[in-house]
Amino acid sequence: MGLFNKIKETFIGKSTKQNEKYVAGLDKSSTSFSEKINSLAARYREINDDYFDELENILIMSDVGVNMVMTIVDEIKKEVRLENIKDPRQINDIIIDKMFVIYANDSIMTTKINYAKEGLTVILMVGVNGAGKTTTIAKLANKMKKEGRSVMLAAGDTFRAGAIDQLDVWAKRLDIPCVKGKEGGDPSSVIYDGVKQAKEAGVDVLICDTAGRLQNKTGLMRELEKMNRIIKKYVPDGPQETLLVIDATTGQNGVNQAVEFSKITDITGIVLTKMDGTAKGGIVLSIKDMLNIPVKFIGLGEKMDDLQEFDLENYIYGLCHDLMGD
């Protein structure tokens, strides 16, 4: 039995809130991907080079990285030869199996937040403006608060107009403290105040917003280096996480942002927002291919609990369930 059939067997008759969110949140991607693969199978009576050329295009258009597409298709070709498969309709489960076995192989699959064993955990949030960073911070804080942790925010994006106020509004809604500076002020001084106040208050987690000015890479690099130095001075193991927020609807531009940010600072995990708004769910695979950095959270809607810990099996099922029927 292939990987997808095992996952499918697990999910049928065992609906949970989390896998329902994945199915609903990945509906656009699943419909688009399934329609294209099923249409491909319907157009070919036998598997040939033209079939594989079209399959490559479908995967690339679904935002799976080009290098990974070549690897996936090569693996599928081997399996087809080995099993002597002629009928394209028999190939769907092999396509899915190869996609996700390759994702899982040699992968850092940790989706858990690396919390400090004792004392303060510091999380730096990075990402370009418009990716949904501020909302993600609020959703992450809400999630941690529900898990019983005390949370404080630091409004370290002092450059974008309104960023401080926006974060402060979320903090008030969630009834958690927010450390602020002046708009246009030194962001590192906000981080310093945040770490100092969080330690004094005995807070479990400090989540720090940062500016998203990727066009000024040198300035941003210096800024993040300074923030890291300040954090390490008072929390030697911090920041325990540097999470990069990427808007999934931007596709390959989002992947390129991830590549650029990884050159500027050490990224420990990815948060993919607006997955419910894209028909190209393969971006998860593309990030793995380009960076081998784990996707830790995935945004499947606008509600506070729609930020879900990334789960490979839920993702596979959400993206591909329409391919197999019931």
pLDDT of residue 8: 67
pLDDT of residue 270: 95
Amino acid at 257: Q
pLDDT of residue 108: 60
pLDDT of residue 177: 98
CA 157 to chain centre: 21
Between CA 71 and CA 6 the distance in angstroms is 23
pLDDT of residue 326: 45
pLDDT of residue 10: 67
Between CA 48 and CA 59 the distance in angstroms is 17
Q: What string of pLDDT tens digits covers the 326 residues of the chain?
A: 566 667 666 666 556 777 788 888 989 988 888 889 889 988 988 899 999 999 999 999 988 888 889 999 999 999 999 988 888 878 888 888 888 787 777 666 678 899 999 999 999 999 998 899 999 999 999 999 999 999 999 999 998 889 999 999 999 999 999 999 998 999 999 999 999 999 999 999 999 999 988 777 888 899 999 999 999 999 999 999 999 999 999 888 888 889 999 999 999 999 999 999 888 888 888 888 888 888 999 999 888 989 999 988 888 888 887 775 54
Its sign, for the CA torsion 224, 229, 235, 238, is: positive
**Greatest Cα-to-Cα distance within the chain, rounded to the nearest angstrom:** 70
Angle at 207 between CA 169 and CA 282, to 5 degrees: 95
pLDDT of residue 324: 59
Annotated binding-site positions for GTP: 127-134, 209-213, 273-276
Beta strands in 102-230, from DSSP E residues, in sequence order = 121-126, 151-154, 178-179, 205-209
Annotated binding-site positions: 127-134, 209-213, 273-276
Residues 266 and 108: beta-carbon distance below 8 Å? no
* Helix, strand, or coil (residue 301): coil
